[in-house]
Structure 1
């Protein structure tokens, strides 16, 4: 996408709380993984429009813990660009697998992730009902289970 710049957040940047919370409504969860992660901001003509967070599990596996595109900018290929950027950064850093998790109700995300070469690798049963105090719904479906998807990276 033209004019889309994706870069790691720097000290002078303001954390995109609204975007982070749109992908993960638990401030507690975000506070737990963010200090051990790298947050990338996507700017379109100098306006922050999207973000993703990379969290390393070990020397071989890294996970996209949070990924979001501002509602006003969805449907423009920004999500795909974020995934492509994350894949390239993971390859450049020597990781072998990139993971991403999403809800059983996130049909649009499942479609996008699989089109980008991710495959369902496991299911964390009752993840959302066990870890979030309020029921979450997406597309009229209750979020219950987390589907984990994996992309094997090829340098």
Structure 2
């Protein structure tokens, strides 16, 4: 049974997982400690997926890392993590959830849009400015950050319109 749980602060960061989505251990450690790290596991086994949710501005959170173990990719686990992050952002009262991914991250761009995110802008040369080593994915140099966002309507907007299920 797949479970998603919040990382216990005494528990080590699943760095090998998080590095699948961001090649800089220094950047991962920095934002993971400032945000909420959630872990996906198969029962009580070790984490096979993770995401980090980070407050950025008032009423805005950013999904800064979504990672699934390579051997478990293609099974819908990334989508489960993203949708869980959307619900968590709603629980925290955020009005907006943002995410950024590389211009070369074709699969991630599709995933985020399938989950309801819309392209909001481009941070030109982001990966050139913030990473020492060049990144290439899908045969494409990763240079720009594609920013996506989702407005989060209040979950209580329809309160009282339907009975218990």
Tell me, which stretches of 5 or more residues in structure 2 are unaligned? 156-165
Misfit runs of 4+, over 2 Å: 11-14
1:32, distance to aligned residue in structure 2 (A): 2.2
TM-score when scaled to structure 1?
Answer: 0.94
What SS does structure 2 have at the residue aligned with 1:94?
A: coil
Q: Aligned pair 1:145/2:148, yes or no?
A: no
For these two proteins, the number of residue pairs brought into alignment is 153
Q: Which deviates the most, 86-95 or 42-51? A: 42-51
Task: Output the aligned Cα RMSD.
Answer: 1.1
Q: Which structure: larger Rg?
A: 2
Which residue matches 2:2? 4
CA distance in 1, matches of 2:143, 2:117: 21
Which residue in the other structure is 2:59 paired with? 60
- Which runs of 5 or more residues in structure 1 are unaligned? none
Deviations 1:30-57 (A, max 9, x none): 2321221010000112231100000001
1:12 Cα deviation from its structure 2 partner? 4.3
Query: Is residue 39 of structure 2 the alignment partner of residue 41 of structure 1?
Result: yes
Take 2:97 and 2:126, find their aligned partners in 1: how far apart are those partners?
A: 20
> Corresponding residue for 1:104?
103
**Quick one: distance in 2 between partners of 1:39 and 1:140?**
30
Instruction: Give, in whole Å, the separation in 2 of the partners of 1:17 and 1:31.
Output: 8
User: TM-score, structure 2 length as denominator?
Assistant: 0.89
- Corresponding residue SS for 2:61: strand
Alignment of 1:60-139 (within 5 A): 60-139=59-138
2:38·2:51 contact (CA, 8 Å) conserved in 1?
yes
Cα distance in 2, alignment partners of residues 5 and 60 from structure 1:
27
Structure 2 CA distance for aligned equivalents of residues 35 and 17 of structure 1: 12
What is residue 20 of structure 2 aligned with on the other side? Answer: 22
What is the rounded CA distance, in whole Å, between the counterparts of 1:59 and 1:129 in structure 2? Answer: 28
Give the secondary-structure state (helix, strand or coil) at the position aligned to 1:14: coil
